[in-house]
Structure 1
Amino acid sequence: MANPSCGLLRTPPKIDIQLKQNQSAAEYYTTGDVVEGIVSITVPNDLPLGIVQIYLQGISKIRFHRALQHGRAKTQHTFLSLRHPQDEMKIPMPVITSKGHEYRIPFYFVLPDKLPSRSCNHFTKSEQIADSHMNLPATVGDPGCQAYINDSSSDKAYVSYRIRVKMSNPLDGNSVLTNMKCIRVLPHSFEEPPLETMGNELYLTQRVKSLNTVPFCNNSGRLSIKALQPRAIRLPDLKTAIHENIGTTVAIDLEFLGTKLPPKLRTISSTLKVLTIYGAMPWENHPNAMTLSSLGNGNRGVCSDVISLSKLCIDSVRWQKQDILLSDHESLPNASHENDSLPQLSKHISSIAVPITLPDTHSLVPTFHSCFISRVYLLEICLSYCQHGPLRVPAHISLMVPLQITK
């Protein structure tokens, strides 16, 4: 009959990580917060306690599906690794432990405002890009947090923070015992200057559309729509008693130039597009400045999610008539008239303020750009209208406006 104590001697020590519950119901940390807790080590028998190392780590991981190759390609980057000082553990080494005894080692970390300089040492095209890579990215798509977080991510790219414990195995000097506990990090961030959207395929902040009251006939007018990038949305502080949902407003400017009455406005809707952009190689430029075609190759990709925000009735919005200038005649499509026989043009303008509020159903994270992963937000604004004429066919025109989320 086998001796039961032999199996006990072969049982390695048990490592458990307990975080101090000082986050109330928010369950996240931000820059400057203290991450502290206790590492508990329980041994099944009298054994020499191995060397214990405690880390706070931040990693980004990317998975690629390659059609021309078997399996998956992976890229992992450890951008943060803080080690708890050995002399603060107050456990002399080596220690001959007692059977069933629990050794409790406290740990204490402070989330930094910036990453260590060694975290990003690749080439970048500007100091602004290099500086953005030194900011802490937010937790995105972490499998250890996904049970209670809906952050519009996927399993192809994620950012994870964790407390990791390593200890040399007293039963096998060639192996290491490990355990880890994931934490959610939402770092502080500040509003950046508006993006340059000209020539950028991701954004479309102004459009012009020719209108005709009768199908297949000459254009009867031109509808122009333009929007400016709105102020950033700052996420509420869930650690306080006040959980107000702070939003922003998109200003839409409309102009109609034509020989008929301006179209009848119907509705305006807003949709949030969430893009997680990733690459196997470090970004030299901001990914949102890249072309869509360049983001679709084998070493780069985009995970997207779409969130409906609002739909407003704007049939009460009125047009204001303005004076006509000669330049207006020249810019009208199909205008080939002499100055003495200019058509009877009319010019009308209007403006609409579209309120933007983030839904409570998603736990969105601040906009960030790291070496391998970025989180970018876009607002799709869709205006529907009905042209004057015998058919009154509904139509629409849409914009794609950048939105920044801060914390």
Structure 2
Amino acid sequence: MDAASVAQSTTGTLATYAKRIGLRSRPDMEILLDNHAEGKIYTTLDALSGRVEITAPQNARFDEIQITLEGVVKTYVENLSPHTTRARTTAVHNFLKLTMPMRDSDYPQPRIAEAGQTYKFPFNFVIPNQLLPRACSHKCNTEHVHHAHLQLPPSMGCREVSIKDDLAPEMSKVEYSIKVKVLRSADDGKDVSLAEKSRKLHIVPAQAELPPMSILTGHSDYDLTKTKTLRKGMFSGKLGKITVSATQPSAIILPSPSLGDTLPATAMATLNLRFDPHDKASQPPRLGGLTTKIKATTFFAARPNEFLPSHTTMTAHFETVRGVYDTAVPLSSRCVEAVSWTKHKAAPAYTRRGSASSSDSSDCSDDSPEAKPGSEYYSATVLVPITLPTSKTWIPSFHSCIVSRTYTIDLNLSIHTPGSGVPASTVSLHLPFQIGADGNQNEQAPMTAAEAAAELADAEEFLRPRVIEVPNAAHIGNSVLVPRASELPPSYEDFAASQPQVVDPGRC
């Protein structure tokens, strides 16, 4: 039997069962959100309140209306192994499910939906600022990884809530939705869904800026320093050596959705250039163009990650159930020929550095092995603004159990030598970059009337006046506590008696 026959058979079975229990056609169901507008983005601690309206086409009995706020991650990885017949391996991670408690007064009595009657069921959810520990129950190599997996991931790969491209592949999706189900208990005690509907939401949780990454030697994802030897001409001698370095730029923090349209978020990267001439006659080279682009990397897997994924870790731990998708967006291209060089003289070997100088080693410091005492070198600084284009939907950097998103800033600097016949040299740097989100962390989560009344009652009970009185004389000195022998703490004698005795074999 082919897949189409199986699907038709399954649909027919469900339709027959629904007709047998009294529901011959689907009811009209609407999920209405308060203060909602098309394209609205929700964030941490935002309230999702509204109601569900259900209109039945004919009288139908039901047992429960279930309204939930759910978050799910879906991935699939193409199977390249010849040892399997499956085209792909899929994974679904339901990391969030909040259920709205329903009161008996919300239901009709008896629980029979009358034909043409519209029933309204209110709901109220609050987007949490963190997931429960059970959302990530697999093994992690560090606590830092487990903590990262307990943060809410942003909506990704869902074109129903975001018209603009968010640079996500089809192999990974993060979806949030409000779902409503009409349930009825079957003869075997299981709940059967008579009808259901969902409404997807665009959620971008708050994400604070993390500390700068510690780039280890041999990490192929990033290059923070590059050194290149320059020549005067095709058949001439060396001009000198140029070193281009940079540190991780500060993160771009997406503004809170409640602020509306604001100016594009901007960060700044700093390029430090140092030129060590081959001889005193060599002058610094002429700089050319500087192009900047941002690379978005999406890691997806059909199996939970025990570590934070990267290109380096994927190479070291090659698995067919993991994949990666890279895409780049150009940011800027400009000429930096006007950047001026500053001449320096390397400090003598016996010169002591000031206490205010940095203790970090750098290729642009006077303590570089290339700098001989008394030699001359040149330095320059280039400021590189980073502005995210508004033509894309930018989501914060995140790591979940099976999906991660990271960013890299690629800088390409062209350098021209004075000799003829020598092509321009290019130095490329790849800097780690973060995108965060403000959210509404300063706002308190709204409480329902019942929650506010319970909190007030607890406060009043805690602040209730209490009087400490001297106990009655009849109760003083009349309490006798006689512990049982088994309840007494062990003494040394008891411990010694319980030890096995050593018997001399010769006396047996």
TM-score category of the 2 structures, normalised to the smaller one: 0.7 to 0.9
Cα distance, 1:330 vs structure 2 = 9.1
CA contact (8 A) 1:113 1:136 kept: yes
Alpha-carbon displacement from aligned partner over 1:214-266 (angstroms, at most 9, x marks no partner):
23655431111111111110112343245121210001100111222211011
Flag structure 1 segments of 5+ consecutive residues without an equivalent: 1-5
In structure 1, what residue type is equivalent to 2:433?
Answer: L
1:182 is aligned to 200
- Structure 1 residues 92, 356: CA separation in 2 closer, same or farther (over 3 Å shift)? same
Q: 2:42 aligns with which of 6, 26, 29?
A: 29
Alignment match, 2:55: 42
For the 8 Å contact 1:23–1:29, the answer to whether it is kept is: no
Residues 141 and 154, structure 1, Cα contact 8 Å, conserved in 2? yes
Distance in 1 (CA, whole Å) between partners of 2:283 and 2:399 is: 46
CA distance change for structure 1 residues 219 and 39 in 2, over 3 Å: closer, same or farther? same
Report the Cα distance in structure 1 between the residues aligned to 2:368 and 2:385, rounded to whole angstroms: 35
Opposite residue 24 of structure 2, the aligned amino acid is: T
CA separation of 1:189/1:325 partners in 2, compared to 1, >3 Å: closer, same or farther?
A: same
Query: 2:304: which partner in 1?
Result: 282
Q: Which residue of 2 aligns with 1:399?
A: 429
Tell whether 2:174 aligns with 1:163.
no
Which has the larger displacement, 69-78 or 286-295? 286-295
Shift in Å at residue 20 of structure 1? 1.8
State the AA in 1 paired with 2:297: L
TM-aligned CA distance change 1:25 to 1:182, over 3 Å: closer
Query: CA contact under 8 A between 1:236 and 1:244: conserved in structure 2?
Result: no
Q: Which has the larger radius of gyration?
A: 2
Deviation per CA, 1:14-57, whole angstroms, max 9, x where unpaired? Answer: 25242325255651110100112221222111221342111111
User: How far apart in 2 are the matches of 1:36 and 1:358?
Assistant: 32
Q: Which moved more, 1:167-176 or 1:268-277?
A: 167-176
- Say yes or no: does 1:72 pair with 2:94: no
* Mapping of residues 78-227 of structure 1, within 5 Å: 78-87=94-103, 90-92=106-108, 94-146=110-162, 148-168=163-183, 175-176=192-193, 177-199=195-217, 200-215=219-234, 218-227=237-246
Instruction: Please give the TM-score of this superposition, normalised by the length of structure 1.
Output: 0.88
Following TM superposition, by how much is the alpha carbon of 1:368 offset from its aligned partner in structure 2, in angstroms?
Answer: 0.8
Q: Distance in 2 between matches of 1:283 and 1:261?
A: 51
Partner of 1:359: 389
How big is the shift at 1:99? 1.2
Partner of 2:8: none
Q: Which residue of 1 aligns with 2:398?
A: 368
Quote how far apart the aligned CAs of 1:295 are: 7.2
The CA deviation at 1:142 is 2.1
Instruction: Measure, in 1, the Cα distance between the counterparts of 2:290 and 2:368.
Output: 30
Distance 1:25 1:363 in 2: 15
- The answer to whether the Cα contact below 8 Å between 1:43 and 1:98 also exists between their aligned partners in 2 is yes
| Range moving further from structure 2, 243-252 or 87-96 | 87-96
User: Which one-letter code corresponds to 1:71 in the other structure?
Assistant: A
Decide whether aligned partners of structure 1 residues 347 and 64 sit closer, same or farther in structure 2, where only a CA change above 3 A counts. same
Deviations 1:256-302 (A, max 9, x none): 11222211011211100001112222222211384352476411111
AA partner of residue 423 (structure 2): V
Gaps in structure 2 of 5+ consecutive residues: 1-18, 350-365, 438-508
Q: In the alignment, which of 336, 340, 346 is matched to residue 318 of structure 1?
A: 340
Residue equivalent to 2:455: none
Match of 1:3 in 2: none
TM-score by length of 2: 0.71
Aligned length: 392
Q: Offset at 1:159?
A: 0.8
In 2, Cα distance between the equivalents of 1:294 and 1:301? Answer: 14
Q: Percent identity?
A: 28
Asked whether the equivalents of residues 223 and 257 of structure 1 are also in contact (C-alpha less than 8 Å), the reply is: yes
Contact conserved, 1:47 with 1:170, CA < 8 A, in 2?
no
Query: Could you tell me whether the CA contact under 8 Å between 2:89 and 2:302 is conserved in 1?
Result: no
Higher share of residues assigned helix: 2
User: Partners in 2 of 1:141 and 1:330 — Cα distance?
Assistant: 47
Distance 1:150 1:389, change over 3 A: same
Once residues 261 and 93 of structure 1 are traced to their aligned partners in structure 2, the CA distance between those partners, rounded to angstroms, is 91
Tell me the distance in 1 between the aligned counterparts of 2:393 and 2:42: 14
Structure 2 counterpart of 1:206, one-letter code: T
Distance 2:390 2:171 in 1: 25
Q: What pairs up with 1:2-13 in 2 under 5 angstroms?
A: 11-13=24-26
Deviation at 1:175, TM superposition (A): 3.9
Runs of 4 or more consecutive aligned structure 1 residues displaced over 6 Å after TM superposition: 170-174, 326-330
Tell me the secondary structure at the aligned position of residue 42 of structure 2.
Answer: coil
**2:33 aligned residue:** 20
Equivalents in 2 of 1:170, 1:261: separation in Å? 85
Residues 98 and 118 (structure 1), Cα distance of their counterparts in 2 relative to 1, 3 Å cut: same
- Is 2:41–2:204's contact at 8 Å kept on the other side of the alignment? yes
Match of 1:347 in 2: 377
CA distance in 2, matches of 1:203, 1:11: 60
Q: Spell out, residue by residue over 1:41-88, the C-alpha distance to the aligned partner (whole angstroms, 9 max, x if none).
A: 221112213421111111111111112233211011111111111327
Change in 2 beyond 3 A, CA 1:55/1:145: same
